[in-house]
Chain A
């Protein structure tokens, strides 16, 4: 008799692992409603920390700054990452392709302090040589985030590009479509889901980055992770608990929508 059921050991580990991943977040959520400042004391249910959070001008302006940078970085990273994915999956004989593929995979693992330091030195040198960027801020963070987010987008998009049926593209070209038109009419709609998930991934990565942004930012641009970091360095803060709860709630809602959407797509595929 063939038994392919997972051994109970790995199932138990899965449950314990999920508990390990989620328990700390549950703790944050619970304590964001604690009236007391202390973690060890439960002083009753309260939403006052949310009020304090929404009245905190510094946090709100940092949120706005971070969202803008994340939006621009994710959009640019999707463009560059998609081009890289094309080169890697399609142009097998292009000269310089090996160098490009090294440069696109290295940012996936490169320690952030190295990336941050190296980009800062570049910006300082550029300012000396060509007079730009005179003051570092949004633009320099945008460049830095675009660069490392492109790598993640390239991974997501190339996985999808590999599965695309080339014969449809070839048919379009045979019928007289230019390569550019073929891309927009045939390839783009097929890889659109990967572009969306690549964009979302890049957006969250950019929103979350502290180290690289700290290196390449100037006095004018403070992102949300910088504000959070300088506040939690001093210890536990209930306002940050409230902020964490809002972030977790937002991500959970998006993940739930993604799940519903993916499940529907799966059902449609099995029915067809």
Chain B
């Protein structure tokens, strides 16, 4: 067996290796090109058409009639987005909500990740599983849990009434407060994990040195720990902020009529109004808004995935 392989000419073996590499690269590349990148081009194309009552409900961009190729490009959807204050308010509302939720996630998640990274080794594994476990259960159901807690007849209001802190139920469900709370709750694990991964690798000798040289623990934290965990903070913030901007389920279930978020508006344009071109234009503008955060996240993630052990 071995003799046979060694007997094959070198050129043939090299060719086999090159072929294998091409397949390993080509299969996922083709899949992602077709099912990830090409669809974005289609969204761009359809955002430049006008809606009609047909199946599919938009006008074609290219038309071949009587030996003439006509290209119809309609910028009306984008002008419509700019002219209607509803859409601008929705984009602003999404960014504001996502930003606040990211901030709260960071304020809650960082100390948690810090305590986890400093815990004894066998406890770290337990905490890690405990942080990840909620995200393995259903996202939808965890958001839904807050409906029962925050409602007017809900658990929290009943409890506060029983305590006598409040006279009449507080309106908490269907408010922007509930949306932010829901995002913080649902995305907290995604903030904790990258910060924890970062903090656990922190060279403990740096902290010892600082302490030996007379640094107080709070100063050490500001001067050493926090700057060194910047990459983890950035990754965690992007993992929360970017999906939160486009969030649909949380504003739909916990938000009220005055909750304007772009994911919800897009969903309604698509499913309720069946206006595919406007929905596509909304998606393109959202993508443009998120381009900088996505590139930042990609740079971090690519570095994480490429570096050798």
A binds B: yes
Binding site for B on A (CB under 8 A): 2-7, 9-11, 13-14, 17-18, 20-22, 24-25, 27-28, 31, 38-40, 80-81, 83-89, 91, 94, 96-97, 99-114, 117-119, 121-122, 124-125, 128, 143-144, 146-147, 150, 154-155, 158-159, 162-163, 175-180, 201, 204, 207-208, 210-211, 214-215, 225, 228-229, 232-233, 235-236, 240-241, 243-244, 247-248, 251-252, 254-255, 258-259, 262-263, 266
Q: Which residue from B21, B112, B189, B290 sits with its C-beta under 8 Å from A13?
A: B112
CB distance from A106 to the nearest CB of B (A): 6
Is B203 in contact with chain A by the CB < 8 A criterion? no
Cross-chain contact B308 with A109 (CB below 8 angstroms) = no
Residues of B within 8 A of A111 (CB): 242-243, 245-247, 263, 286, 290
Q: Which residues on the A side are within 8 Å of B141 (C-beta)?
A: 28, 228, 240, 243-244, 247
Q: Is the pair B302, A105 in contact by a Cβ cutoff of 8 Å?
A: yes
A24 touches B39 (CB 8 A): no
Q: Is B78 among interface residues, defined by CB-CB distance under 8 A?
A: no
A201 to B132, CA, bound (A): 11
Chain A residues whose CB sits within 8 angstroms of the CB of B116 once the complex forms: 14
Closest to A6 in B: B118
A236's nearest neighbour on chain B, judged by CB, is B148
B33 / chain A contacts, CB cutoff of 8 Å: 103
B145 interfacial contact with A, CB 8 Å: yes
Is B136 close to A, CB under 8 A?
yes
Residues of B participating in the A interface, judged by any CB pair closer than 8 Å: 1-2, 5-6, 16-17, 20-21, 24-25, 27-29, 31-40, 42-43, 46, 56, 108-109, 111-112, 114-116, 118-119, 121-122, 125-127, 129-134, 136-142, 144-149, 151, 153-155, 158, 185, 188-189, 192, 204, 207-208, 211-212, 217, 238-239, 242-243, 245-249, 252-253, 263, 266-267, 270-271, 276, 279-280, 283, 286-287, 290, 293-294, 297-298, 301-302, 305-309
User: Nearest Cβ distance between residue B191 and chain A, in whole angstroms?
Assistant: 10
Contact B40 A118 (CB under 8 A): yes
- Complex Cα distance, B185 from A201, in Å, reads 20
Chain B contacts of A119 at CB under 8 A?
Answer: 35, 39
Q: Which of A5, A24, A201 contacts B145 (CB 8 A)?
A: A24
A52 to B103, CA, bound (A): 42
Alpha-carbon distance between A182 and B52 when the two chains are bound, in angstroms: 57
Cβ of B6: which chain A residues have Cβ within 8 Å of it? 176
Whether the Cβ atoms of A263 and B122 lie closer than 8 Å is yes
- What would be 18 A-B contacts, judged by CB atoms less than 8 Å apart? A6-B114, A10-B114, A18-B130, A22-B130, A24-B149, A39-B154, A40-B158, A89-B305, A91-B24, A106-B36, A110-B294, A114-B286, A122-B35, A208-B139, A232-B140, A232-B144, A240-B144, A247-B138
**Most chain A CB neighbours (cut-off 10 Å) among B25, B37, B267:** B25
Residue of A nearest to B35 (CB): A147
In the complex, which residue of chain B has the Cβ closest to the Cβ of A92? Answer: B306
How far apart sit A11 and B120, CA to CA, in the bound complex (Å)? 13
- Return chain B residues, CB-CB under 8 Å to A124: 56
